[in-house]
Structure 1
Amino acid sequence: MTMRLSPNDSLQLRETLQTAVVKCSERCLYQSAKWAAELLDALPEPDVEAQMSDAPDSHVHPIFAPNPDPVEAALEAQELSRYLLAKSFFDCKEFERCAAVFLPEPLLAGLLGANTNDTATPKGKGKTKASASLSSEYTLPEISQKSMFLALYAKVIAGEKHKDEDTEMIMGPQDSGAVINKQLVVVSRFLTKWFAERKADDGDYPASQGFLEYLYGMVLAKEKNDSLALDYLMQSVHLFPWNWGAWLEITNLVSRVEQLNKVTRHLPQNIMSYIFHANTSISLYQQNPELAGSLKDLLGIFPTSSFLLTCKALLCYHSKDLFAAEQEFNRILALHPHRLDCLDHYSNILYVLNRRPKLAFLAHLCANIDKFRAESCVVIGNYYSLLSLHEKAVQYFRRALTLDRSCLSAWTLMGHEYVELKNTHAAIESYRRAVDVNRRDYRAWYGLGQTYEVLEMHAYALWYYKKAAGLRPWDAKMWQAVGSCLQRMGRDRDGIKALKRALLADSYYDTTTASSFGSAAAVDRMSQMDPEVLLQIATMYDRLDEEEEAKAYMELCLAQEEGAAGADEGGGGALGDSIAIHHDSPSSEAGGGEGAVAGAGGTDGSGTGVTFATSKARMWLARYAMRAEDYATAVRLATELCQDGVEVEEAKALMREARSRMELANLVER
């Protein structure tokens, strides 16, 4: 599907986005307003003459058009002065004062019952009935939906502010993650009553604008009532599709691709659904040519959109094409040099690629723009981590979390740093908090597995590794961790299956990356397998006394020194020629960033060259040749081992023994 907009459609889209910016700003949804404004700015300017000729003489911009609902319009006009007062309080971050303009505490107490923060207990059943009878005497205030949303939203924000104050220091004694937003129950009860009244008699109430559904869905999601939250959020995007915050809440509730496909069928058919589907697919770590094509179509409409360009960069990142991802972030930085959003991902890529000068430049840039943004602190923390200053890195990650406790990157990366500092308890807590923020964060699950493996608690480690592998089923590193853990637990047969899955996984990434983005680097890597994984598989087959299988994988491991040609000659028939995997990709995670570049490889890109794994395989094959009385092969392999510089003394002894047996055999023949 290729998206093309006519001049009239383009003009209509421009007006709709302008209206969205104003409507979201009026309700203090500043992030949604910013998102719509950035998308609007990325829309190419129309031809002024054509626009003037097409526009009717009496055209009034939708921003200035009166509210089409007469009841809402009358209420908004009547309370304009109070609305302006409440909005000024919100802008000055006086959230309680903002809410009290339209919903003072006595009114809420009477409407919802005096003990709004108390939970029902067997002893309190009488109190619950009393509060219900009390609240039935009160009716909901006659205010516009816009003012009601502003007041209730201010309540939620005030509750979040008090929640952060109550938890005190990051990972301190009070920061258990159990502190709740006490205003959620108030807002939830109010909106439950409001929606119940509207459903009871639809004819007496004006049409909903979609924002209160969004707020109710957000509150329900925070209360872990995901199913009902999704229902209200879907209603919200049908009523007003241009509130990006509602789409993000739906994204947070979608945990699987199957669920995304099910939700997509019930979405409104417009460009926002298209953007939502692309963004959610990326958050679910999907990589395929269709997704790349969707982003290409969207960028055809919004060519300079920082959001869509970031999606494209993250798609490259998740596809392990880090060089392409770096180029995309370079382009975003050139187009939007003062934008800090998602630069923490860029710093992760620079960390993995070991781009120290670039990461230093990015850290200085972020500090100069706004040193008190969570993204800036993450970038600086990654820079200190690259310098191996792990305590300093932890300091900046904690600072990022002080500014924004929902900063996923900071929780995960702080866990990495604590692993480096050998503080396993703090590492586990950091990873657990990252999972609480986003259960789709495979890095946190993987980090938990690594930490428990350090503690030699392999059963726990295996469970967390499997969670990570479930989120990234085509990531070889996840399956390699599962296989290695099973190997340590003595479950060789299961370990072999997992490691074979790891070999197949990287070929998927290589082929999808190459087909989606036309990356020559990805194509070059497609003919190589990881010798470490092949050695592990061969070793487990050897322990299972399946020598022929072990020999086949040892030969395949040895063949990786010369790449594809060596694999063909080396008789790597255990997997067949259909498997094409590159060596340990630069996305392997270690340290305080998202990973460290894996080491040795062939300088010409055609093979790994001599590695510890291939030398171990060569030694095993030499001993196998001795057992099979193939002394010529044993001598050749032992000679190569002496050249490798690995286990030289043992290789020399093996060579002497093989030659003596050859001489003895010759004497016997004579």
Structure 2
Amino acid sequence: MGLSAKDALHLKEALQVAVVKCSERCLYQSAKWAAELLNALPDIAPGELDRTTSAAGSQLHPVFSPNDDPLEAALEAKELNKYLLAKTFFDCKEFDRCAAVFLPESLLSGLLSAKPSDVASPRGKGKASAALPSEQTLPTISQKSLFLALYAKIISGEKRKDEDSEMIMGPQDLGSVVNKQLLIVSRFLERWFAERKAEDSELAPSQGFLEYLYGMVLVKEKNDTVALDYLMQSIHLYPWNWGCWLEITNLIARVEQLSTVAPHLPQNIMSFIFHANTSVNLYQQGPDLAAAINDLLNIFPTSSFLLTCKALLNYHSKDLMAAEENFSSLLALHPHRLDSLDHYSNILYVLNMRPKLAFLAHLCTSIDKFRPESCVVIGNYYSLLSLHEKAVQYFRRALTLDRSCLSAWTLMGHEYVELKNTHAAIESYRRAVDVNRRDYRAWYGLGQTYEVLEMHAYALWYYKKAAGLRPWDGKMWQAVGSCLQKMGRDRDGIKALKRALLADSYYDSTASSFGSTGTIDRMAQMDPEVLLQIAIMYDRLDEEEEAKAYMELCVAQEDGGQDGADGGALSESVAIHRDSPGGVASDELADGRPEKGSGHEGTGVTVATSKARMWLAKQAMRAEDYPTANRLAMELCQDGVEVEEAKALIREARSRMELANMMDR
């Protein structure tokens, strides 16, 4: 995927305009994202640049050109002094003063006193709108100034909301404090859009930013369906506002929903970037997504955002070493960038790379110790040192800086589990889910915590939520199966654990593509613990042949082979996988731990394989296969597991064999 010199120039100009327009409206994160993408574009060759710009050499650069709409351009020129004053107030974090420049409190208070039906009625239509008091007429100001004033009002409300909130995880921290400015902003924008939808309206058409603002307000009011409509309108009117795309990403909870939204998106490079980013956020994997990100990196080779997407794709695919290498390269390329370093610290924690995590914590502290990402990195470092109280302290500090910091809520829940404070752990995980219902780690953590409390029905519900989010993660299905086993639902537990085997085989198979439903790779390494659990449940169901097949398969994992396994028992799991989860709730699980070895070296002797060998020895005794029982018991003595019981089996098997020999004579 490449761009011609002309297309590259147009893309560069569009991103330059986006940086200016977003900065003018104080959308600094969107402006930063566009500026980083702009500087990741390779320079156009001088010869190509001359041919491309020869016809337009004397024209004004689009960044400096006035508003395309003459009415808006006139209003912006008229109120330039006020706009500059309001923007300086915003930059100095005087948000109420900024809003009051264009929207004084006397004007806004009239909207709250008006009836909702009056507010929603378009001006000039019907008696209701004609009867509105004159003081409620919306002011005639440019859309840029109006956006700045209303945005400042929302930020002021968020600031006051944080100030009124109780300390993190304090006795009164119920998460019930609301932004009191949302109602007035919502009423104002509802009225503003109603006026433009009137058939006889002569007002200037919207430019897209106010739709984005209204969508943001509706999201905070939990009106997701209408919010998505307005956000979609916004990206069609102005597609270069990355903040709007992120809001849409946050509203998409399922892959099916992404497929529904995709055909209605504008067809441009922003839509392509959005689709790749949202797929990564939905934990999708596979060669198609990797190819899409690589195509984008061909256009923006040094883009920190796209390099982060690539690293997260490896992280979600459980290729932790590749993810670590990508993050390390990204850090070398952008050494002062703190965005997403909390994910990097998670990877270093799982890989137990203590020196690198210590270096990362020191680096973050030297750059900005009061960024939420820095606090999360330091918290992970203390957690690796088993200093769980200190880790909690830094995760709480991250949440004090930003209550929507997802990593901090989830990781603080993990720390409270280590500290045996189950109540605080549950509350932390619940708050993480409130921030992002797609966080499988929080759902899994809730399941683990309730399982510790022996509340298996609750644990099963949360495990199923997690498995719905990560259907190809064997760890999730293993948790579901183990929980069902403890509840005595052996048949359902067997199905869940077979899904776990299939999920692990997906990651182990380098040839399989995302979404394939092939059979289990007969030579792939499988988890002996899962195989043992399946066998035990078959044994409880009095299906001895099935139990024996899985016990033999469990023992075979010691050397990486699978001889003696019953292929029919495994083939059933493929059919299970191809069905929909059925009883498994799939709305929405564990932190990325390294996958088990995918080679054929075997696991060696484990507790699970020794238990399976013991079961097989006793079964051989029951079947009067004394030579096999003797051989298995001798192997147990060599393993050093259950030695006394194994010796007793050897004595009994040999005596039975001697007795049989005597009778044959």
TM-score clears 0.5: yes
- Where in structure 1 are there 5+ consecutive unaligned residues? 117-129, 517-522, 580-592
- The residue number in structure 2 matching 1:646 is 641
Summarize the Cα distance change of 1:409–1:115 in structure 2 as closer, same or farther, 3 Å threshold. Answer: farther
The equivalent of 2:76 in structure 1 is 76
Distance 1:322 1:246 in 2: 31
**Aligned equivalent of 2:531:** 534
Distance 1:526 1:223, change over 3 A: farther
After TM superposition, the structure 1 stretch with the greater mean CA deviation from structure 2, 245-254 or 568-577, is 568-577
- Cα distance in structure 1, aligned partners of 2:448 and 2:110: 53
Q: Is the 8 A contact 1:111 1:140 kept in 2?
A: no
Tell me, yes or no, if the aligned pair for 2:196 and 2:205 is still in contact at 8 Å. no
Matched, 1:547 2:544: yes
Q: Is the 8 A contact 1:384 1:393 kept in 2?
A: yes
Task: Name the stretch that deviates more: 239-248 or 568-577.
Answer: 568-577
- Deviation at residue 111 of structure 1 after TM alignment: 3.3
1:512/1:213 CA distance change after superposition, 3 Å: farther
How many pairs does the alignment contain?
633
Q: 1:513 to 1:277 in 2, by over 3 A?
A: farther
SS in 1 for 2:562: helix
CA contact (8 A) 1:111 1:134 kept: no
The answer to whether the Cα contact below 8 Å between 2:361 and 2:378 also exists between their aligned partners in 1 is yes
Question: What is residue 123 of structure 2 aligned with on the other side?
Answer: none
Change (3 A) 1:573 1:652: farther
Residue number in structure 2 paired with 1:65? 65
Deviation of 1:575 (Å) = 1.5
Q: Report the Cα distance in structure 2 between the residues aligned to 1:357 and 1:37, rounded to whole angstroms.
A: 33
Which 4+ residue blocks in structure 1 deviate beyond 4 angstroms? 130-137, 512-516, 523-526, 569-573, 576-579, 595-599
Cα distance in 2 between the residues matched to 1:625 and 1:435: 50
Could you tell me how far apart the structure 1 residues matched to 2:652 and 2:185 are?
83
Q: How does 1:444-463 map to 2 (within 5 A)?
A: 444-463=442-461
Structure 2 CA distance for partners of 1:460 and 1:512, relative to 1, 3 Å: farther
Instruction: Indicate the residue corresponding to 2:623 in structure 1.
Output: 628
Structure 2 residue aligned with 1:559: 556
Secondary structure at the counterpart of residue 574 of structure 1: helix
Contact 1:112 1:135 survives alignment (8 Å): no
Distance 1:163 1:571 in 2: 61
Tell me which residue corresponds to 2:106: 106
Structure 1 position 610 matched with structure 2 position 608: no
Aligned to 2:517: none
Contact 1:354 1:596 in 2 (8 A): no
**1:664 alignment partner, one of 656, 659, 663:** 659
Give the secondary-structure state (helix, strand or coil) at the position aligned to 2:63.
coil
Aligned equivalent of 2:121 = none
Other structure's SS at 2:196 match: helix
Deviation at 1:506?
A: 1.4
> Matches of 2:135 and 2:85 in 1, distance apart?
29
Deviation at 1:166, TM superposition (A): 0.9
Tell me, what secondary structure is at the counterpart of 2:176?
coil
Decide whether the 8 Å contact of 1:524 with 1:605 is kept in 2.
no
**Per-residue deviation, residues 169-219 of structure 1 (Å, max 9, x unmatched):** 101133201111111111000000000011014641112110000000010
Contact persistence 1:349–1:594 (CA under 8 A): no
- Report deviation, 1:298: 0.4
Asked whether the 8 Å contact 1:560–1:567 carries over to 2, the reply is yes
1:63 partner letter:
V
Deviations 1:221-258 (A, max 9, x none): 11011110000000000000000000000001111111
Partner of residue 168 from structure 2, selected from 153, 170, 186: 170
Q: Which moved more, 1:60-69 or 1:27-36?
A: 60-69
Alignment deviations for residues 522-580 of structure 1 (CA, whole Å, 9 cap, x no partner): x99971000000000000000111100000000010111111xx21356666315998x
Q: Distance in 1 between matches of 2:168 and 2:187?
A: 31
Distance 1:526 1:657 in 2: 36
Alpha-carbon contact 1:113-1:134 (below 8 Å) kept: no
Q: Provide the rounded CA distance (Å) in 2 between the counterparts of 1:547 and 1:569.
A: 15
Output one character per residue of 1:395-432: Cα deviation in whole Å (capped at 9) or x when no partner: 00000000010000000000000000000000000000
Please say which of residues 443-452 and 132-141 is displaced more in the overlay. 132-141
Contact 1:381 1:392 in 2 (8 A): yes
Q: State the distance in 2 between where 1:49 and 1:365 align.
A: 42
More moved, 35-44 vs 501-510? 501-510
- Residue in 1 that maps onto 2:88: 88
The separation in 2 between residues aligned to 1:642 and 1:364, in whole angstroms, is: 50
Alignment deviations for residues 22-80 of structure 1 (CA, whole Å, 9 cap, x no partner): 00000000000000000001100111343134212322211011111110001000110
- Aligned-partner residue type, residue 417 of structure 2: V
Per-residue deviation, 1:641: 0.4
Residues 349-370 of structure 1: per-residue CA shift (max 9 Å, x gap): 0111111111111110111111
List gaps (5 residues or longer) in structure 2.
Answer: 117-127, 515-519, 575-589
User: What is the deviation of 1:474?
Assistant: 1.1
CA deviations 1:260-299 (Å, max 9, x no partner) are: 0110100000000000000011111111211111001100
* Alignment-mate amino acid for residue 140 of structure 1: L
Instruction: Indicate if the aligned counterparts of 1:282 and 1:315 stay in contact, CA closer than 8 A.
Output: yes
Q: Deviations over 1:481-513 (max 9, x none)?
A: 110001011111111111111111112233368
Q: One-letter code of the match for 2:94?
A: E
SS at match of 1:393: helix
Q: CA deviation at 1:379?
A: 0.4
Matches of 1:368 and 1:137, distance apart in 2: 54
- State the secondary structure of the residue aligned to 1:501: helix
Letter in 2 for 1:552: A
Q: Determine helix, strand or coil for the equivalent of 2:64.
A: coil
What is the distance in 1 between the residues matched to 2:142 and 2:380?
47
Q: Write the distance in 2 (CA, Å) between the matches of 1:420 and 1:534.
A: 28
For 2:292 and 2:217, the matched residues in 1 are separated by 32
Q: Is the 8 A contact 2:20 2:31 kept in 1?
A: yes
Aligned mates of 1:478, 1:287 — CA distance in 2:
17
Q: Deviations over 1:426-476 (max 9, x none)?
A: 000000000000011111011001111111111111111111011111111
Relative to 1, partners in 2 of residues 1:653 and 1:504: Cα closer, same or farther, differing over 3 Å?
Answer: same
- Look up the equivalent residue of 2:281 and give its one-letter code: S
- The question of whether the paired residues in 2 share the 8 Å contact of 1:170 and 1:401 is answered with yes
For residues 540 and 134 of structure 2, the distance between their equivalents in structure 1, rounded to whole angstroms, comes to 74
* TM-score for the superposition, normalised by structure 2: 0.92
Q: For 1:543, give the aligned amino acid.
A: R
State the TM-score, normalized to the length of structure 1: 0.91
Q: How does 1:228-627 map to 2 (within 5 A)?
A: 228-511=226-509, 527-563=524-560, 566-568=561-563, 574-575=569-570, 594=591, 606-627=601-622
Q: Would the aligned equivalents of 1:400 and 1:410 in 2 still touch at CA under 8 Å?
A: yes
1: CA distance between counterparts of 2:46 and 2:132? 61
| Kept in 1: contact 2:285–2:316 (CA 8 A) | yes
1:589 aligns to what?
Answer: none
Distance 1:91 1:278 in 2: 33
State the match for 2:584 in structure 1: none
* Aligned-partner Cα distance in 1 for 2:151–2:510: 43
TM-aligned CA distance change 1:202 to 1:263, over 3 Å = farther
* CA distance in structure 1 between the aligned counterparts of 2:374 and 2:510, rounded to whole angstroms: 33
The question of whether the paired residues in 1 share the 8 Å contact of 2:19 and 2:35 is answered with yes
Give 1:109's aligned amino acid.
S
Q: Distance in 2 between matches of 1:303 and 1:429?
A: 42
Measure the CA separation in 1 of the matches of 2:628 and 2:566: 15
